[in-house]
Structure 1
Amino acid sequence: MTAEITPGQDGATVLDGSARVHEATGHDVSAPFLAGAYLALDLARRHNCRFALLMDGSPSCGSSFIYDGHFTGTRHAGQGVTAALLRRNGITVYAPAGFASLEAVMG
């Protein structure tokens, strides 16, 4: 499934209810993305996670960039729904490009 967040928005605005996640067909898939984010948060809490390593780009896991919502492959700064929810709950999110930083804090 290819999905992107409302153009110009990111996961934080999806969490706030002012943006949506849509497939290229226009079908709204916000509910499954939100459900997945809350499941990830629950799992992280149950395992006392302080850090998460998530892939950039996706409307769920993007931590420094996501695609722009026009389905053209253009990226913009922003975070996905899961990344935003984890951050709101005190979990530090890293992208693979920041693996060395994550490794350093885990010591």
Structure 2
Amino acid sequence: MILVSSCLAGMKVRYNGTDCLDETIQKLLNENKAIAVCPELLGGFSTPREPAEIIGGNGEDVLAGTAKVVDRSGTDVTDMYLEGAYITLAKAQEVSATMVVLKENSPSCGSAMIYNGEFKGKKIAGNGVTTALLRKNGIKVTSEENWLL
């Protein structure tokens, strides 16, 4: 089974109420070959919500307690990101996911790039919180940009 970001399957769950539809991923979902998850909604966020970025590092640093996730207003939302990551991990383990395809650049789901924490659109190499936790537990994570390679 493959786990995929809900936004990639066409669900309007992104912070701004939009999706990032990938028709191939949506087809997998429709054929019952994939299950959609949104770590941020699982962590207790609603849609729409303020954008958030990791401050002081990357997803691994958030797991280690040396970085945090903050929304644009400056509110620390780290605990909600961690909650969503752990629920996503449990779901991946429950369905014996062989691969997880998550949305690149997200503070939850980025698997190669994330925003740098300045809210200016600048990206840096790094993982989101959910990706870091899944990889720490031996689960293969990739993005919509690389999963077919």
Quick one: which amino acid aligns to residue 80 of structure 1?
G
The answer (yes or no) to whether the contact 1:50–1:90 under 8 Å persists in 2 is no
Query: Normalising to structure 2: TM-score of the pair?
Result: 0.66
User: How far 1:97 sits from its partner (Å)?
Assistant: 1.3
Which whole-Å deviations, capped at 9, do the CAs of 1:35-77 have from their partners, x for residues lacking one? 0000000000000112100010110000000000000000000
Which residue is equivalent to 1:12? 60
Q: Is it true that 1:69 corresponds to 2:117 in the alignment?
A: yes
Matched pairs, number: 100
Which residue is equivalent to 1:37? 85
Q: Which of 33, 45, 51 is the matching residue for 1:2? A: 51
Higher helix share: 1
The answer (yes or no) to whether the contact 1:56–1:66 under 8 Å persists in 2 is yes
Percentage of pairs with the same residue: 43
Quick one: which amino acid aligns to residue 53 of structure 1?
V
Answer 1 or 2: higher relative contact order, Cα 8 Å, separation at least 6.
1
Q: Which runs of 5+ in 2 are unaligned?
A: 1-49
* CA distance in 1 between partners of 2:68 and 2:96 (Å): 29
Which contiguous aligned blocks of 4+ residues in structure 1 show a shift greater than 2 angstroms? none
